[in-house]
Structure 1
Amino acid sequence: MRAAHLLLALGLALVLGGCASSSVDSLAPKTAGNVDLKRYQGKWFELARLPMRFQEGCAQSEAHYNLKPDGSLGVLNRCRTEGDEWLRAEGRAGIEAPGHTDKLWVEFDNWFTRLVPGLTKADYWILYVDDHYRTAIVGSPNRKYLWILSRTPSLPAWERENLLSKARQQGYDTSRLIWRVSDKAIVARH
């Protein structure tokens, strides 16, 4: 009897272990494929994002990427608070695996990253970019982070809904998105 329980437990562990290892990739969101980082560089407006601690109080955010000779990207993120103050964070992004320009890591330059280099790298997966590199969806594989980006600070409703639909199909909860506050709304508060 004891041997039967041991075999059953061992069999269950093997089955569950096999399921866990084989389903990790199937659970991860699908990325955009080959992304031309030269075309991706430049200024992007954040139209919407999932809530995150490090962007609390940001009414408007934008990201500036510039391609470096070594293939990495310089990153400058700017955040305009509802108090009309601009905050900034600088860092860099790199390719996670050679040949996969849609899966990047990003690391910002601050006292903590200088204290423990490499430990603070975060996934930056490009899930979608349109053919003209005008709109993009970026997220993390665990679906905790999501950004909807555009080269312009606003989009027509149909285009915004198209991007939301793509994010939902990837398993992201778009009902929790925080949307960019308009310039007029920020000015009106002051």
Structure 2
Amino acid sequence: MKRILLGVCAAAMLAGCANSGTGAVPPRTVDKVDLERYQGTWYEQARLPMFFQRNCKQSEAHYALQADGSISVVNKCRDAEGKWQEAVGQAVPQVEGKTDKLWVSFDNWFSDLLPGVAKGDYWVLYLDDDYQHALVGSPNHKYLWVLSRSTELNPEQRAKLLEVAHDRGYDTENLIWRTPDAEMPKQ
């Protein structure tokens, strides 16, 4: 558990400095996210390689809209042995009234120590009309998550999400795909 929290801290710090000196043109985001419709469970289908998820074979995120407009975040990661780890945090809009770009911070010692620094970019790059598929990334193109409401994507959905990610400037060749349930150990 300590390793995942340390990794989340490091990633949040790096993502908070996402555009510092990269020269990359930030990707286009969706116009607006209906946070009520967005809340719930999202299954990670794929992601770009990153330190804090290096041992994750399956990941999921649980979002819940709070009365103050923030979103509670519970990220879960299942490793090759089938054990789950989780990180708890909160997301808030980067600009009041706009919901396409959020700051995410996690409850840990690093966030307590440096609350203004220990936050990561969460930009919603694509969201289908039914809120069943989404792309989320960072403005420097280093982080990308392919998300869906179900644990599997059909070939057409996968192709569409890869096309959009590529169009937004992300390297889709290095994506790490979710390990199918059938390949995971039984618990």
- Which deviations, in whole Å up to 9, do the C-alpha atoms of 1:58-107 show, x marking residues without a partner? 00000000001111100000000011110000000000002220000100
> What does residue 172 of structure 2 align with?
174
Alignment coverage as a number of residue pairs: 166
1:39 to 37, 52, 64: 37
Q: Secondary structure at the match of 1:99?
A: coil
Give the percent of matched residue pairs that are identical in Structure 1 and Structure 2: 53
Give the distance between the partners of 1:116 and 1:26, measured in 2 at CA. 26
Amino acid at match of 1:161: A
> Which structure has the larger Rg over C-alpha atoms?
1
List structure 1 segments (4+ residues) > 4 angstroms apart after TM superposition: none
Q: Which structure's residues are more often helix, by fraction?
A: 1
> What does residue 159 of structure 1 align with?
157
- Which deviations, in whole Å up to 9, do the C-alpha atoms of 1:120-153 show, x marking residues without a partner? 1110000011001000000000000000000000
Q: Secondary structure at the match of 1:62?
A: strand
> What does residue 57 of structure 1 align with?
55
Greater displacement, 110-119 / 84-93: 110-119
Q: Which 5+ residue runs of structure 2 have no aligned equivalent?
A: 1-21
> What does residue 18 of structure 2 align with?
none
Give the distance between the partners of 2:177 and 2:104, measured in 1 at CA. 23
TM-score of the superposed pair, with normalisation by structure 2: 0.85
> What does residue 129 of structure 2 align with?
131
Amino acid at match of 1:46: E
**Greater relative contact order (CA < 8 Å, ≥ 6 in sequence):** 2
Cα root mean square deviation, aligned: 1.7
1:80 to 71, 78, 81: 78
